[in-house]
Amino acid sequence: MPVHEVAQRGFGDGADAYERARPSYPPEAAEWFVDNLRIAPGARVCDLAAGTGKLTRLLVPTGASLFAIEPVEGMSAHLRAALPSVPVVASMAEQLPLADGSLDAVTVAQAFHWFDADRAFGDLARVLRPRGRVGIIWNIRDRTNHWVNEVWSIMDRVEKRAPWRDHEQWSADALGVRPGFGELHQAGFRHTQRLSPDDVVDRIASVSHVVVLPDDERQRVLDEVRTVLTTHPDTIGRDELDIPYRVDAYWCERLP
Q: Write the pLDDT tens digit of every residue in 104-125.
A: 999 999 998 888 888 899 999 9
Domains of the chain in sequence order: 5-253 (3.40.50.150)
Q: CA torsion angle for 13, 15, 17, 22 (degrees, to 10)? A: 140
Residues 6+ apart with CB under 8 A from 125: 178, 179, 180, 181, 254
CA count, 13 A, side-chain hemisphere, 168 = 7
Lowest-confidence segment of 27-41, 116-130, 225-239 by average pLDDT: 116-130
pLDDT at position 222 is 95
96 or 11, greater pLDDT = 96
Confidence of residue 138 (pLDDT cuts 50, 70, 90): very high
Measured CA angle at 187 (ends 181, 189), to 5 deg: 145
pLDDT band, residue 4 (cuts 50/70/90): very low
Q: How confident is the model at residue 12 (pLDDT cuts 50, 70, 90)?
A: very low
For residue 240, name the pLDDT band (cuts at 50, 70, 90): very high
Average of per-residue pLDDT across 146-170: 72
Among candidate residues 159, 186, 161, 180, the one with its CA nearest the CA of residue 32: 186
Residue 217 identity (one-letter amino acid): E
| Type of residue found at 123 | D
> Model confidence at 175, in pLDDT bands (50, 70, 90)?
low
pLDDT at 8 over 50: no
Judge whether 47 and 96 are in contact, CB under 8 Å.
no
Distance CA 255, CA 229 (A): 50
Band of pLDDT at residue 3, cut at 50, 70 and 90:
very low
> Which is more confidently placed, 165 or 72?
72
Say whether pTM exceeds 0.85.
yes
The answer to whether 64 touches 45, Cβ cutoff 8 Å, is: yes
Residue 6 confidence (pLDDT): 45
Please state the rounded mean pLDDT for residues 127-155: 93
Give 196: exposed, middle or buried? Use CB within 10 Å, 0-12, 13-18, 19+: middle
Q: Give the pairing of strands 65-69 and 44-48.
A: parallel
* Residue ranges in the chain assigned as alpha helix (H): 5-13, 15-21, 27-36, 56-59, 73-82, 117-127, 146-159, 167-176, 197-205, 208-211, 215-231
Single-letter residue type at 29: A
